[in-house]
């Protein structure tokens, strides 16, 4: 089976040298991502496209390939094609009719052709010939050039005919790492997840820095969304996840800083810590999910005061986005379920936060702060390869038993999102299956019949192990992980 991957248009208007570099990066990224689960994949780079072929044409594998390609930055759209040879216009028509005639039955249609090479016909000639033949010889509602029910798409390149059976949209953007690395400050909420995705989409390899204000449960949640973003959109490259314990910093602020200034000073402390982490990793820019005017610390005045705490460039992709716009993007990219249950601890510090911080007053308050506490937080920070988040789940096997068989008292708890559940329903003969999305487990698991043994299930096993560990830490003991 063959796919044609079309480059994001902005890549094609770059200078020849830049375009060549971007296309080579994309070629490598597609190969690295797809070979994670299909070793038969081959990727060939042409000037204006990538050709992807696989020998594994099972429905499951093809679906997985399409899904993965739709999430690789730099791809505008994916064409699923069959390749044929032809001799003349009529042979093109016969090939197309044998493949696509059933698709136009009872529908209006049109034919669209892209052509490259020297031929005795034009693209319009083929459109008229194939369209006329299909209209005369097969039951349809006729040709309709504007907004038809179905579009027959063909590409002719020299002596090859490509019949496009399906088209899938990609996410566009630039391939990784077309830009320099960035460090994203992750809280796990709507904003930080979307801003991280936007930088990935711009071709910047995005690492993650988490300031832990809420304990192990919060860290697990942020690790999950960070791992999801990496696994979904940037798995072609290694990235780091840095966790900085910030409880001590918060305690020092609560004790030493005037209430109204707490939010701005906390952000300034985060920026100082993130700058040191970034310099250690040789990263030149920080990324935040701040949006102008969304909360008190994000007024224009306060953002300016926050920026003056460090010299490193701070990027804010969401500056002009409204909250609903951000939520809509989170829903589209799949981070919304994480964000909906992620606690925003940093938002509860100031009772009456200032919206127009004065630098002299902020500096006076910070003079009371013991910066040794900030240094200690950095000393205690942990840096890990983001792939080890999955390995971390495997390391808790002694605490969370993994099983593949069932006992009489076992219930399989499918913790996947509703969309995943609908797409791939879990069916096991003779075993009760209960559906509770992972983002509702914290509040819903205790309502279940606790006399039962629950076997957590998700597609890859990572989420189920991390969620099981969290609940075990909350005192539940009737939990195992189910793997097929």
Our answer to whether residue 23 is catalytic in this structure is: no
CA distances from 5 to 1, 50, 205 (A): 13, 5, 22
Return d(Cα 220, Cα 206) in angstroms, integer: 19
Phi, psi of 278 (to 5 degrees): -65, -45
Contact 169/77 with Cβ under 8 angstroms?
yes
CA atoms within 13 A on the CB side of 388: 8
DSSP codes of every residue in 265-334: HHHHHHHHHHHHHHHHTT--EEE----TTSSGGGSHHHHHHHHTT-SSEEE-TTTT--HHHHHHHHHHHT
The two beta strands, 240-245 and 204-212, are: parallel
Contact 246/274 with Cβ under 8 angstroms?
no
Q: Note the helical H segments in 35-113.
A: 59-69, 89-104
Burial of 251 (0-12, 13-18, 19+ CB in 10 A): exposed
Active-site residue, selected from the candidate residues 23, 110, 346, 458 = 458
Contact 305/170 with Cβ under 8 angstroms?
no
3-class DSSP string for 404-468: CCCCCCEEEEECCCHHHHHHCCCCCCCCEEEECCHHHHHHHHHHCCCCCEEEEECCCCHHHHHHH
H or E element that contains 134: helix 123-137
Hey, how many other C-beta atoms are within 10 angstroms of the C-beta on 254? 12
Classified as helix, coil or strand, 368 is: coil
CA distances from 275 to 285, 437, 453 (A): 8, 36, 46
Query: Which residues are annotated as catalytic?
Result: 458
């Amino acid at each position: 089976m063959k796919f044609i991957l079309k480059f994001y248009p902005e890549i094609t208007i770059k200078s020849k040298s830049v375009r060549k570099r971007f296309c080579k990066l994309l070629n490598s990224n597609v190969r690295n991502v797809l070979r994670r689960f299909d070793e038969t994949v081959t990727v060939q780079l042409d000037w204006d496209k990538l050709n992807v072929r696989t020998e594994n044409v099972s429905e499951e594998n093809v679906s997985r390939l399409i899904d993965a390609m739709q999430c690789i930055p730099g791809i505008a759209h994916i064409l699923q094609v069959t390749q044929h040879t032809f001799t003349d216009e009529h042979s093109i028509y016969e090939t197309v009719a044998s493949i696509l005639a059933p698709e136009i039955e009872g529908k209006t249609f049109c034919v669209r052709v892209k052509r490259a090479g020297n031929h005795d016909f034009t693209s319009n000639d083929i459109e008229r010939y194939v369209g006329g033949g299909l209209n005369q010889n097969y039951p349809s509602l006729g040709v309709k050039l504007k907004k038809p029910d179905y579009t027959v798409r063909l590409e002719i390149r020299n002596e090859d005919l490509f019949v496009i059976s399906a088209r899938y949209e990609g996410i566009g953007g630039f391939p990784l790492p077309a830009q320099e690395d960035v460090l994203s400050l992750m809280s796990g909420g709507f904003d930080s997840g979307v801003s991280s995705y936007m930088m990935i989409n711009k071709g910047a390899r995005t690492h993650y820095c988490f300031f832990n204000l809420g304990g192990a449960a919060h860290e697990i949640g942020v690790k999950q969304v960070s791992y999801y973003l990496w696994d979904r959109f940037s798995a072609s490259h290694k990235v780091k996840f840095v966790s900085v314990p910030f409880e001590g910093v918060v305690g020092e602020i609560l004790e030493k800083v005037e209430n109204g200034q707490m939010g701005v000073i906390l952000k300034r402390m985060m920026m100082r810590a993130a700058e040191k982490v970034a310099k250690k990793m040789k990263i030149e820019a920080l990324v935040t999910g701040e949006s102008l005017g969304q909360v008190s610390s994000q007024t224009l005045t306060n953002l300016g005061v926050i920026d003056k705490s460090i010299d490193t460039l701070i990027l804010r992709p969401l500056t002009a986005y409204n909250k609903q716009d951000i939520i809509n993007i989170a829903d589209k990219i799949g981070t919304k379920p994480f964000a909906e249950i992620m606690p925003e601890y940093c938002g509860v510090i100031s009772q009456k936060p200032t919206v127009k911080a004065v630098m002299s007053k902020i500096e006076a308050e910070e003079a009371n702060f013991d910066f040794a506490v900030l240094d200690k937080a950095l000393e205690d920070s942990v840096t890990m390869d983001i792939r080890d988040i999955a390995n971390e789940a495997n390391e808790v096997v002694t605490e969370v038993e993994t099983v593949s068989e069932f006992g009489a008292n076992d219930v399989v708890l499918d913790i996947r999102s509703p969309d995943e559940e609908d797409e791939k329903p879990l069916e096991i003969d003779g075993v009760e299956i209960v559906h509770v999305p992972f983002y509702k487990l914290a509040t819903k698991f205790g309502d279940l019949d606790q006399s039962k043994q629950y076997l957590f299930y998700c597609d890859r096993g990572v989420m189920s192990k991390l969620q099981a560990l969290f609940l075990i830490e909350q005192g539940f003991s009737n939990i195992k992980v189910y793997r097929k």
